[in-house]
Amino acid sequence: MNSHNSYRPGFLGCFGNRSPRMVLGLLALSLLSSASSGCAKGALWRLGYLSPQARQQWADEEKIAKSWPTVRSEMSALVDQAKASSPADQQRVAARLAEMIQKDDRVLVRLHATQLLGELTPAVAMSAVAAATQDRESDVRVAACRAYGKMQTEDALTQLNSIMQRDEQPDVQIAAVRAMGQFKTPRAAQLLKYALESEQPAMQLAAADSLKSITGQKFGNDIPKWQEHVASLGPVDNTVITSSVNQASHDQPDEIRSFLETVKR
């Protein structure tokens, strides 16, 4: 092995074997993030292992409180234990994660809590994931869509339909459309009619990908073909779905509060 390539001293050592172009790109990203935020918590702060500033910050935090890597490890261990335990234990863990999503100021904590909910059974995680759908950060709401996709229940599909139509951020809407592709049911395909008729090309293409997964049809990116195929599946029961969507949209906060009050740590 070439000795010049196997050893990278100093700051560049933290970038491993990445190419000089990638290193320069990451450095530029770090500088832009620092300039815009006035501190070291730019884009590289989220990646952490690429940012010496973030690693040093975590070490400093560990002296006075638990740092993010420690919190993340403990959260994951808690969920791993719950998955091998009783439904009551899973419910207590879900309640704890929902509390983090509602109260923790750290985006990474809320994001990881939402991701972990997708590993629990739908019966205990549904109400907790509903808390994440109300988060102010779109990344957390995207994670909620993915958690619903793993559940593959009718209630989860109804929630995704609501997010697809009501969320104000296109990336969250698209995440909901993609998650709906995990439901291999005619209803999921019929609900994607909304995305096919969107004015956003990205939404239409995401719907085409999901419909390919659901139906097995191979129309590629031919949106008119997909629209024709979905129309051939017949109408959705609009009364049931509208009622469910409205309930999901307006009653979630009360549902979450009730969930947290009845399930104690």
Q: Which CATH number is 161's domain given? A: 1.25.10.10
If asked whether residues 212 and 123 sit together in one domain, one would say yes
Positive or negative, the CA dihedral 49, 51, 54, 59 is positive
On the question of pLDDT at 20 being above 80, the answer is no
Looking at residue 67, its pLDDT comes to: 78
- Of the residues 12, 33, 64, which one is the last residue of a structural domain? 64
If asked whether residues 14 and 108 sit together in one domain, one would say no
Looking at residue 134, its pLDDT comes to: 93
If asked whether residues 158 and 144 sit together in one domain, one would say yes
Whole-angstrom distance, CA of residue 158 vs CA of residue 191? 9
**What digits encode the pLDDT tens for the residues 85-132?**
888 999 999 999 999 999 999 999 999 999 999 999 998 999 899 999
If asked whether residues 234 and 120 sit together in one domain, one would say yes
Residue 264's φ and ψ, nearest 5 degrees, are -95, 155
Length of the chain counted residue by residue: 265
On the question of pLDDT at 265 being above 90, the answer is no
If asked whether residues 167 and 50 sit together in one domain, one would say no
Confidence bin at 234 (pLDDT 50/70/90): confident
If asked whether residues 187 and 236 sit together in one domain, one would say yes
- Of the residues 64, 91, 113, which one is the last residue of a structural domain? 64
Q: Which domain holds residue 45?
A: 3-64
If asked whether residues 35 and 85 sit together in one domain, one would say no
If asked whether residues 97 and 171 sit together in one domain, one would say yes
CA angle, residues 57, 59, 65, in degrees to nearest 5:
95
Neighbouring C-beta atoms of residue 51, cutoff 10 Å: 23
- Of the residues 45, 64, 83, which one is the last residue of a structural domain? 64
Secondary structure of the chain in HEC code, one letter for each residue: CCHHHHCCCHHHHHHCCCCHHHHHHHHHHHHHHHHHHCCCCCHHHHHCCCCHHHHHHHHHHHHHCCCHHHHHHHHHHHHHHHHCCCHHHHHHHHHHHHHHHHHCCCHHHHHHHHHHHCCCCHHHHHHHHHHHCCCCCHHHHHHHHHHHHHHCCHHHHHHHHHHHHHCCCHHHHHHHHHHHCCCCCHHHHHHCHHHHCCCCHHHHHHHHHHHHHHHCCCCCCCHHHHHHHHHHCCCCCHHHHHHHHHHHHHHHHHHHHHHHHHCCC
If asked whether residues 37 and 110 sit together in one domain, one would say no
If asked whether residues 146 and 191 sit together in one domain, one would say yes
Find out whether 221 and 187 touch, Cβ atoms under 8 Å.
Answer: no
How far is C-alpha 138 from the geometric centre of its chain's CA atoms?
8
On the question of pLDDT at 13 being above 50, the answer is no
If asked whether residues 135 and 229 sit together in one domain, one would say yes
If asked whether residues 224 and 128 sit together in one domain, one would say yes
Whole-angstrom distance, CA of residue 15 vs CA of residue 20? 10
Total domains, the chain:
2
pTM of the predicted model as reported, rounded to 2 decimal places: 0.68
Q: Which two tokens stand for residue 21?
A: 């172009």
Looking at residue 249, its pLDDT comes to: 39
Looking at residue 105, its pLDDT comes to: 92
